[in-house]
Amino acid sequence: MNRSNETSPMLGFILLALSAHPKLEKTFFALILLMYLVILLGNGVLILVTILDSRLDTPMYFFLRNLSFLDICYTTSSVPLILDSFLTPRKTISFSACVVQMFLSFAMGATECVLLSLMAFDRYVAICNPLRYPVVMSKAAYVPMAVGSWTAGITNSVVQTSLAMRLPFCGDNVINHFTCEILAVLKLACADISINVISMVVANMIFLALPVLFIFVSYVFIIATILRIPSAEGRRKAFSTCSAHLTVVIVFYGTILFMYGKPKSKDPLGADKQDLADKLISLFYGVVTPMLNPIIYSLRNKDVKAAVRNLMAQKHLTE
C-alpha cells in the first residue's frame, strides 16, 4: 500500500456501529441497556449466593463464580462503548481506549473458553470417578486451575493486542464495528498482517478447538457413564448436575460457530445485509450469552435456586 496514505492511530478511531441504520439505534440502546443491567444483576447475585451459601463451596461453584465475574468484566469492557455509540453522532474512540477494550475482550473470551473446559472436567470427575472427586478436585487443585485459565487468557490477549497495535493504519481509521474488534481493526492496516493471522490461527486452535474437543470427549464419557446407571431416577439426577453447564457450552460455542462459519455473500446488496447481520450476531455473542448464563444456572440448578430462596428469606427476616 502507499505509505503516504498512512495515518497515525494515536489520533483514534471512528466506530461505524449502526450509523447506516439510525432508526435501529434508539431501539437497540434501550434493549442493550436492559440486557446489561440484567447481566450485572444476575451475575452479581450468582457470585453473592455462591459465596454466602456454604453448601455451594465446591469446585463447580468456584468455577461458576469465576465465570460470572468474567461475564461482568467482558460486557463492561464493551457495552458502555456500544451504548455511547448509539447516542453519539460521531462515534470516536481514542487509541488507548481501543487498546484497553481489545485487550479486555480478548482476555475474557480466551479465559472463558478455558474455564468452560475446566468445568467439563469437574463434571467428568464428579460423575465418572465420584470416589476420587475429593482428591482430584481438592482446593489445592481447582484454585490453580482457575488461576491458570486467567493467566492463559491474559497472556494470549497481550500477544494478540500488541501484534495488532504495532501495525501502521491507513485512511480515516474507520472501524466497521461497535467496538475495536480485532478483525475489523486489521482491515485498516497498511502492512502485512500474516504474522497476526498466524498468531490468531494458533490461538484459535489452543483456545477454541482444544477446549471444544476436551469438552466433547468429557461428555462422551459422562453420557456413557450416565447410561450405565440402572435406575431412571439415578440417570436423571446425574444428568441434572451437568445439564446447566452443557446448555451454556452449546450457547457459547454455537454462537461462535454460527458467527464465523456461515458463508459470505458475493452480492453487494447481500453483503450490506450480511454486514449488519454480522454486527448483530457479534452483539448477541457479547451481550445475550453473558445474560443467559446466570439464568440457565438459576433455572436448571436446584442448589442455586435453593440458595437464592434462602438469601431472599434471610433478607426478608431482617427487614
Residue with the larger pLDDT of the pair 24 and 319: 24
- Cell numbers linked to 159: 500477544
Which pLDDT score is estimated for 212? Answer: 92
Mean pLDDT taken over the chain: 82
CA–CA dist 34, 75 (Å, integer): 13
In the numeric block, the cell 483456545 is attached to 207
Say what the pLDDT of residue 180 is: 82
pLDDT of residue 4: 47
| Contact criterion met (CB below 8 Å) for 306 and 205 | no
Query: What SS3 string covers 186-213?
Result: HCCECCCCHHHHHHHHHHHHHHHHHHHH
Percent of the chain with pLDDT over 70: 82
What's the pLDDT at 20?
66
Domains and CATH numbers, the chain: 21-312 (1.20.1070.10)
User: Furthest-apart CA pair in the chain: how many Å?
Assistant: 74
Q: What is 248-292 written as a DSSP string?
A: HHHHHHHHHHHHHHSPPP-SHHHHHHHHHHHHHHHHIIIIIHHHH
Cα 270 from chain centre? 28
Specify the pLDDT at position 167: 83
Query: Could you tell me the strand order of the sheet in which 92-93 lies?
Result: 92-93, 13-15, 174-175
The residue-averaged pLDDT of 207-211 equals 91
pLDDT at 269: 45
Listed residue (166, 186, 163) closest to 176, CA to CA: 186
Q: Which residue has the higher pLDDT, 204 or 17?
A: 204
Residue 83 binned pLDDT confidence (cut-offs 50, 70, 90): confident
Q: pLDDT: is 207 or 256 the higher one?
A: 207
Kindly give, in sequence order, each residue whose CB lies less than 8 Å from that of residue 194, ignoring residues fewer than 6 positions away: none
Q: What is the mean pLDDT of residues 299-315?
A: 67
**What's the pTM?**
0.85
What pLDDT is stored for residue 282 in this prediction? Answer: 74
Looking at residue 263, its pLDDT comes to 55
Mean pLDDT to the nearest integer, 49-77 = 89
* pLDDT tens-digit series, residues 115-162: 999 999 999 999 999 999 999 999 999 999 999 999 999 999 999 999
Q: What angle do CA 83, 173, 264 make, to 5 degrees?
A: 75
Q: Is the pLDDT of residue 6 over 60?
A: no
**Contact present, 36 and 75 (Cβ < 8 Å):** yes
What are 248-304's pLDDT values in tens digits?
A: 888 888 777 766 555 555 544 455 566 667 777 777 778 888 888 888 877 666 667
pLDDT number for residue 152? 95
